[in-house]
Structure 1
């Protein structure tokens, strides 16, 4: 490269190669101090524990491959040589994980080890592993997965059988030829690691990228917009966006990257999707975003395309509703960071908690129920993975401006006086005692002989404003959307004797206490409400004199 040429880290040259200003360096120092106050860095003890757990899981994967190999007729020698190897990806591999963060892991195995073996053989082995708890396989997910905690370290494990008879110790996943003739779900699993490695290769300064990404991840988590499964952006998409800003400002410090992230993202949509580099891999044709060649890509509302082969849209779950929510939060973030730069506020304001459970008058509560804690993890995972379909169905409801899904479920346990009451609760009826419901770790729950396990998910409903001249009440009929959603979720695996699902409309005043932090509900009632809201309680569509009539046909199955 000639001395007067500027290196291009992405598909376009940098916007600026200037060094950051003194003020930008100052806010970077205060940003890192706030991130430490917010407990985003794990301790050395937890880091060591993660390494030990990964070593134990790696050994278990080899044992699993050997057992399956022997069961399928391979010799003792061939079974020992079959190997098996784990690769991490996501926040842990990027180096931006914090306390309690799960480790995304893919188990790479030989071609004769199947996905069915993963759930029938490896999952029980994992359950029997010392220190393993909350082991739950979700084979029907978009990417089949086993969730577990091992020595209190949460892990998400996927399987990727390669077209090889054995897995060598020095295997690298960089070779594109490894992906030939693999089905899409396996490619997605492998690409987690491949993408993470590519992101680290494509940023000018890895430490600046990591510091800025920690900030954006914390902000997105606090604002309840960090969730790919619910139609927001997951870790991959947020990391790609931050990496792109780093490419555009290669000499910027972390605080400056964050400021420019919000400034640029508040102007979304960009003219083109976010691409980190132009990919040319010789004989292997790489799909880059082109709406003329790939009409399906035009359906993506916020296309962010992965840089490695095969390129994919990392944001295919984003809906009209979640895009509106993302846009609002990004604009709010831009306003806050501008105040931080000006010195009129601090980074702590950027990380303030969301107001999801205060901003709407109407909510839909979706409850997944079972009688068994292991089955509950699987069933709740299945329901959560389908929640985005409910949102898309609700978007067609007349008078509904948007459907706002919350990013996580709330786990509860109901103590019942008898088997009959437990069966009734499973069907959606309330328990006889108002104090019967509690958290799973409650001492009272531990002693209860008849239990029902439940996970509650919530969707906020923002109503459209009345058109000028409209008279009379409006009707918000979501019953068809709910009915279709229940049919889809139940599918072929639903067992009425063991599982239940309940959907109902609730007012904000009837929200359960467990969705609020201690003292939060009371403080909010006495405090001032913000008028800056997407159809919220004040200044939006759903104002007190314009309350709609809601029809949900509350369903229980």
Structure 2
């Protein structure tokens, strides 16, 4: 286990950026922040707090009765049955002290070795809970990356994980922080234990828990309002936000919450991803469990936004993040920092930060995923499965289109009251502008959509009536039930009084006519942008006209690579803005490794359809793997740190280097947090959307043709 403080007495992998405390103005702003959170109803009442304690007590009694029953069924004697024990631990927002009214409670049940997960936890405990009148909405997900049993007790939502330890008897004073507890357990148990171990470590690694909690509560609320709070959809979840906030608390240990909020947005709007965010050094540990290491672990090189957990084994908690969702989050960090500057200058208030993201006004084209089932229980199970797989559709679209088509998933499901037992998900689509004009290339994603539907329908617990439809809708066709009060908002709405536009390259109707033989209607579209401002109209989208040849892929990426794996994009090279990564140690690894990989993956066009397959359809041969590994080893071990330049503000006076901290991986060299001047930070760290203008739409009775013509 990592030590809370290093030899120099500070928390974290680097020295603090600033030890300055709050000014009188900062204290006034902190009081405003706390009042805002209270007025927003983010603190639970005393009655609800007592109710949660009672529910946890009831759950603890239930699992203790369950383990005795399971032990007796296993054929053990009465003495052993009497000693049998199971214990409930909490983690997540409840353990961190940042939960709000109605929030679920993340819990962990720890049981002995004979009480196995599938036979006892998901069977016998499930049946016991089902018989309890106070339990409702019981929803097991045994095949999840972290198997979970979801339910409600007296209306309070519980997510219950299970850790099957090697202990014969679970002691009442069990300490989960000891690394020895991971001895002789399976991967699901390691992942289940990680929640509690990480939560406890975070609390040990922040200098001021009260400031940490206030700041984290604020950031969590902001993330939900701006649509970037959803781990399952490829954004960030609770533990990700906690680590990010914890790192800011380490860098500014004496800052008040209002100061930490502003610095949070500033630092992460300038952060050079994929440099990792870490609260402590990564240690190899005594048990030989794999830790996050982009040199040794090939798939770790494809992670877009590494946020490393502080407990052994250190893992990337944000492996779900894709190119598209990272781009959206960086834009949101930048917008928020600009508003914080305006607040500091008295030109805005805290409300400006929390205006909901205008998702259904931001794109011209969307995918609509409509699922249905025969009853509420089936729909609940069906929703859980579809949500867990929806991210793969985003990844496949990015991968197949060479990351030229980006997909922004809406972070939650929506329902139409007029259509019971239906649930809807939406994905906004946009495309990037290429650097050089090249031969037009067409991508037809119907094959990807159909493959996604096939994978969804392979649900192990599928029942009659479970169905899914995926269709293309334009912005003007978005159903009214997605909008508040069923009213479509005005297109002229802005979230901030200032207006800043993002330049885009126009393509005339004549150019479109030359390519497609028809002229598309000129309808402007807001595009993803930097800052919370009115967005410049995007170029027209167009789909192949009737009679045109549909371009289908000769083959799609293989199932092993795309079937929901955490590192589905491991082989892809960062193509978005190469200059953004030119000074990043980990990014250089990605680019060099990606070069070696993509040389192998680029195939000649198929004679049947003229479209080349992309991605991992063909496995890497041994020589390319050796080349990739060599590039990673050389770069991780020898890349120099980037020099730090002065900045006008104290917190960016010295952006310290971050150690990757594996003992034998890069003991001498460190990847940097890349501090530099304000102008250089703006140039190298801000992602700007780039778009092209060459698409038309063609309807298909069963599924809209989603072909994107990329005129490079």
TM-score by length of 2: 0.68
**By how many angstroms is 1:290 displaced?**
4.1
**By how many angstroms is 1:547 displaced?**
7.3
**By how many angstroms is 1:401 displaced?**
3.3
Structure-1 residue corresponding to 2:40:
38
Structure-2 residue corresponding to 1:211:
214
Q: Determine the C-alpha separation between the residues in 1 that align with 2:311 and 2:470.
A: 41
TM-score by length of 1: 0.86
Q: Give a deviation string over 1:176-222, Cα, whole Å, max 9, x none.
A: 11101212121111110111010001100000000000111001010
Specify the SS of the correspondent of 1:171: coil
Deviation larger for 206-215 or 476-485? 476-485
Q: Is the 8 A contact 1:102 1:154 kept in 2?
A: yes
Are positions 1:54 and 2:56 aligned together?
Answer: yes
Are positions 1:66 and 2:68 aligned together?
Answer: yes
Residue of structure 2 aligned with 1:186, choices 165, 189, 193: 189
**By how many angstroms is 1:288 displaced?**
5.7
Q: Determine the C-alpha separation between the residues in 2 that align with 1:552 and 1:481.
A: 17
Q: Give a deviation string over 1:201-255, Cα, whole Å, max 9, x none.
A: 1100000000000111001010111111111111111100100110111100111
Q: 1:37 to 1:147 in 2, by over 3 A?
A: same
Structure-2 residue corresponding to 1:456:
424
Q: Is the 8 A contact 1:406 1:459 kept in 2?
A: yes
Q: Is the 8 A contact 1:358 1:508 kept in 2?
A: yes
Q: Determine the C-alpha separation between the residues in 1 that align with 2:37 and 2:153.
A: 27
Q: 1:279 to 1:477 in 2, by over 3 A?
A: closer
Q: Determine the C-alpha separation between the residues in 2 that align with 1:363 and 1:384.
A: 17
Structure-2 residue corresponding to 1:409:
413
Unmatched 5+ stretches in structure 1: 414-435, 439-452
Residue of structure 2 aligned with 1:517, choices 484, 487, 508: 484
Q: Determine the C-alpha separation between the residues in 2 that align with 1:352 and 1:128.
A: 44
Q: Determine the C-alpha separation between the residues in 2 that align with 1:138 and 1:412.
A: 26
Are positions 1:162 and 2:159 aligned together?
Answer: no
Deviation larger for 200-209 or 159-168? 159-168
Structure-1 residue corresponding to 2:316:
313
Q: Residues 383-398 of structure 1: matches in 2 within 5 Å?
A: 383-398=386-401
Q: Give a deviation string over 1:139-196, Cα, whole Å, max 9, x none.
A: 1211111211211211111111111112121112111111012121211111101110
Deviation larger for 542-551 or 214-223? 542-551
Deviation larger for 203-212 or 396-405? 396-405
Q: 1:89 to 1:550 in 2, by over 3 A?
A: farther
Q: Is the 8 A contact 1:464 1:541 kept in 2?
A: no
Specify the SS of the correspondent of 2:484: coil
Q: Determine the C-alpha separation between the residues in 2 that align with 1:9 and 1:132.
A: 43
Residue of structure 1 aligned with 2:223, choices 200, 204, 220: 220
Specify the SS of the correspondent of 1:317: coil
Deviation larger for 86-95 or 336-345? 336-345
Q: Is the 8 A contact 2:285 2:313 kept in 1?
A: no
Q: Is the 8 A contact 2:13 2:279 kept in 1?
A: yes
Residue of structure 1 aligned with 2:84, choices 82, 85, 88: 82
Q: Residues 262-281 of structure 1: matches in 2 within 5 Å?
A: 262-269=265-272, 272-280=275-283
Q: 1:232 to 1:552 in 2, by over 3 A?
A: farther
Q: 1:121 to 1:282 in 2, by over 3 A?
A: closer
Q: 1:541 to 1:401 in 2, by over 3 A?
A: farther
Structure-1 residue corresponding to 2:577:
none
Structure-2 residue corresponding to 1:29:
31
Q: Determine the C-alpha separation between the residues in 2 that align with 1:37 and 1:552.
A: 48
Unmatched 5+ stretches in structure 2: 1-6, 503-525, 543-692, 705-712
Q: Residues 56-205 of structure 1: matches in 2 within 5 Å?
A: 56-116=58-118, 117-205=120-208
Q: Is the 8 A contact 1:479 1:551 kept in 2?
A: no
Q: 1:492 to 1:469 in 2, by over 3 A?
A: closer
Q: Is the 8 A contact 1:174 1:194 kept in 2?
A: yes
Q: Is the 8 A contact 1:368 1:454 kept in 2?
A: yes
Are positions 1:549 and 2:690 aligned together?
Answer: no
**By how many angstroms is 1:57 displaced?**
0.7
Are positions 1:503 and 2:485 aligned together?
Answer: no
Specify the SS of the correspondent of 1:160: strand
Specify the SS of the correspondent of 1:293: coil
Deviation larger for 137-146 or 318-327? 137-146
Q: 1:303 to 1:279 in 2, by over 3 A?
A: closer
CA RMSD of aligned residues (A): 2.7
Q: Determine the C-alpha separation between the residues in 2 that align with 1:517 and 1:172.
A: 48
Are positions 1:338 and 2:341 aligned together?
Answer: yes
Residue of structure 1 aligned with 2:368, choices 349, 359, 365: 365
Are positions 1:479 and 2:446 aligned together?
Answer: yes
Higher strand share: 1
Q: Is the 8 A contact 2:274 2:306 kept in 1?
A: no
Q: 1:202 to 1:282 in 2, by over 3 A?
A: same
Q: Give a deviation string over 1:450-501, Cα, whole Å, max 9, x none.
A: xxx23211111113458898999x9663211111212222225264624212
Q: 1:544 to 1:377 in 2, by over 3 A?
A: closer
Q: 1:528 to 1:41 in 2, by over 3 A?
A: closer
Q: Is the 8 A contact 2:235 2:321 kept in 1?
A: yes
Q: Is the 8 A contact 1:403 1:459 kept in 2?
A: yes
Q: Determine the C-alpha separation between the residues in 1 that align with 2:82 and 2:322.
A: 48
